Amino acid sequence: MEILEFNEEIKFDEELILVLGYFDGLHLGHQALFAEARKVAAVLNLKIAVLTFPEKPTLTFEKFSPDMLLKLTSDQKRADLFAENGVDYLVFKDFTSDFAHQTSEEFSKNVVLKFNPKVVITGFDYTTGSDMQNLKSTEDYRVIIIPEQADDQGKISSTRIRKAVEEGEIAQANALLGYAYETTGLVVHGFARGRQLGYPTANLVIKDFIHLPAVGVYTCDVLFHGERHRGFASIGYNDTFNGTEKTVEVHIFDFSGEIYGEKLTVLWLDKIRDMIKFENMEQLIAQMKEDERIARRYRL
């Protein structure tokens, strides 16, 4: 997959299938667009291009708050997901005021036609231009609008997934995503309390602007050097030890070795429990043994 920046000079000579959207998380609803794109591309023997944005379009319209920078996937994971969904050209465009103030006709002329599209695929809620209209078919290209994708709880959306992650409902978030929610972090030195308890942990610093699951203990899988290991992870403040700084700590089962400075990817699978402040270390160790039993027995 080729990654490009949209600019005035960009122009594709070959005909393409163009998919439009922001795609935070690239969840099951989004994946329906790419399933259709792959089907059409196979029939017409064309490649697939995506025009998307590096940040949420709401940054252009609403008062800024730091939470607006948080995403469901890192930039690298998002690119990987596009590639897995059959994208050949991933094109980024900053969502500026000038971009937003175009009419639908200007958007078609200044943006869409640059991709020389035979077919354009969008979601039902994707609007273009200052007149906020759905893109319409023209003599140059056909538009396919994918209807709302829903489960028994309603529309599958990034908003629902963000809420599930922030409330610790990881299994629900994963069901809507179609894959395990993940966080990548750098292993740094902590207080080494886990080692004293018989459960050495990797303390992670998360450098990406990613939504973290709610405070609690979770069953997880850990990706390290291409191998997948089961473990459990905690997000919290080390209440038993009167901690004040939020930490992400991961214990990997049946694993030993010094891994400081390494990157680990945590695949969050299911929540085990909320954080508890224990009276003594014996109670904490007993609970961690139960956490381990639950995590080891978890089946995907």
Axis-axis angle for helices 170-177, 158-166 (nearest 10): 160
φ/ψ region of 29 (left if φ > 0, alpha if ψ in -120 to 50, else beta) reads alpha
Phi, psi of 6 (to 5 degrees): -75, 130
Q: How far does CA 167 lie from the centroid of its chain? A: 16
Considering the candidates 249, 258, 279, 290, report the single residue annotated as catalytic.
Answer: 249
- Indicate the pairing of strand 16-20 with strand 47-52: parallel
36 is annotated as an active-site residue: no
Residues 109 and 112: their CA atoms lie apart, in Å, by: 6
Cα(104)–Cα(100) distance, integer angstroms: 10
Q: Which amino acid is at 163?
A: K
In the chain, which residue ranges form alpha helices assigned H by DSSP?
28-44, 75-84, 97-100, 104-110, 158-166, 170-177, 193-196, 281-297
- Cα 96 from Cα 270, distance rounded (Å): 38
- Could you tell me which of 98, 109, 87 has the C-alpha nearest to residue 17? 87
Active-site amino acid positions: 249
